[in-house]
Each structure stands twice: as C-alpha cells, then as structure tokens.
Structure 1
Amino acid sequence: MADTPRCTVCGRTLRDPASRARGTGPVCNRKTRTPHSPAPRRPALPPYVGGRPVTDVPAGHYL
C-alpha cells in the first residue's frame, strides 16, 4: 500500500477523509495548529456623538 496517505508530522496512516484532506491526523493537528487570534476590541464610545468628536461633548457635573 504505497499510496496510503500519511500524516506529514508523525507519519501515521490517515484514515479519516478530513485528515487526508488536511494532511495531518487529529492529534498532530491539535498540537501544531495556530490558535485563533482574538477579535479586535471595539472602542467603548463611538468616535463621534451627534456629529461632534467625543472630546467636544460636555461632560457636565457627572465627572
């Protein structure tokens, strides 16, 4: 069976179709894949409030 696909990391035989398409087995895939980057954080306030920049909005006596 020279045509049997093997894991590119450890060389074991790949039996699952998804593993064959990926080229790595499930264990090697978990060990070598890069973690997902976190989603970019959104600012607490929009940059403009009522058409004016946030720095121009009067804070009043609440601050």
Structure 2
Amino acid sequence: MADTPRCTVCGRTLRDPASRARGTGPVCNRKTRTAPPPPTRHPALPLELGGRPVTDVSAGHYL
C-alpha cells in the first residue's frame, strides 16, 4: 500500500478525490489553512461617485 495517498499532516489515508488533490484531509485542512487576507484599503477617493464626477457631488452643510 505504498501508493495509497496519505494526509501530509497526520498520515491518514485520503479517500476523497478533492482531499487527494489537496494533500490533506478535511479536518487537517480546516486546522491548517490560513485566514484570508484582510481587504485592501484604497487611499484615494474614487474618481466617480454614483456615476457622477466628484466635483458634481454636493458637500451640503459640511463646507
């Protein structure tokens, strides 16, 4: 049974095709996967807000 795919973390036999492709079982995958990166922030304002150029947007009583 040397050709049987095994989990790279715990060594258990992998039976599911997705687990075999990934190289880890479902439990080890949940324990070892990293969290998604936080969303990137855009430092500049968008050129358009709601389809209008920024210069056309009223600032109201804030100015």
Smaller-chain TM-score range?
Answer: 0.5 to 0.7
Which residue pairs with 2:15 in the alignment? 15
Q: Which residue of 2 aligns with 1:33?
A: 33
In the aligned structure 2, how far is the partner of 1:46 from the partner of 1:27? 42
Taking the TM superposition and a 5 Å limit, the aligned residue runs for 1:21-60 are 21-42=21-42, 45-46=45-46, 49-50=54-55
TM-score, length basis structure 1: 0.67
Question: 1:37, 1:31 → 2: CA distance?
Answer: 17
Count matched residues: 55
Q: Percent identity?
A: 78
With structure 2 as the length reference, what TM-score do the two structures score?
Answer: 0.67
CA distance in 2 between counterparts of 1:46 and 1:23 reads 42
Structure 1 stretches (4+) deviating beyond 4 angstroms? none
